[in-house]
Structure 1
């Protein structure tokens, strides 16, 4: 494509882009109003990118120019890129690589699978850690409950022992009270008998 700019005014065009995808391919649709097929260049010189550019003469004083570099999706078969231009629409077709082609060209599908396996292994490890933490928490809870039950049993034993001791002491006190009561009655009886005896003896001495 020759240089048509010269001293003309250059107007930059920003084309409308649209990516479409199906199970087999990616499609890049570029709307280029006023352009013809021979005025458009497509380049695949940079890995992972596609470049599109073009310029056209509008009149003696003006020309239009556009140029863009677009990043491509992964897993494309760059050896089978298709191109068509119709009704001011540039269409680029990028076939997707199959799993068999991936294995032949560096095993990206295997790498993807390996990454997935690593993620699954990491998830399993996290589950194991969570299960261990739950088990430890459960054991600590059971141990705390066992200690609480043991403490409660000890408290009950102390209460029972105290109650038994009080009952025992109460029995002794009751026996002491009964003994004192009997002694008081005996003392009163003796005092009464002595009083009667002394009275009779006093009367006898008076006679």
Structure 2
């Protein structure tokens, strides 16, 4: 811990500010993410903040007031590893220990291959679910508590009537919901006009 005795805190002008330099180290977890572990003794999670300062850097800052004359603050910037995914950084506070998880960027070729494989698997799952749903309705064994959630199709519509076809398909799939909404609306209009006349 390094001390700065003659400096006053901006937030606490009557307190002497003492800079705290925490111990920190980088590791990797089993999923291949980078982990930045920072020891922050005496700090609570609401006294610490994490900001992405610029491309490739994150800033950890915060302050706490241990007594009426002293303010301890942190203001440290950390350089991120080269292939870091800066959009998905996650920080967790465990007791007096801050763990920042920085995922690695996925290589473009493997991402394209895996997304293509996932798309094919997704199409197979959708087809299987639609067939199962048809069979259950045909057999009459589907109860109202056995509802399954529909997976949206990954096929993109083409042509000028694509919006209309999307709406028609949605209405056809959800006939019961649309019908009950229309009936509820009509009853509401009828009741409101009869009560106010």
- The two structures have a TM-score, normalised by structure 2, of 0.48
Between structure 1 and structure 2, the one with the greater Rg is 1
- The two structures have a TM-score, normalised by structure 1, of 0.46
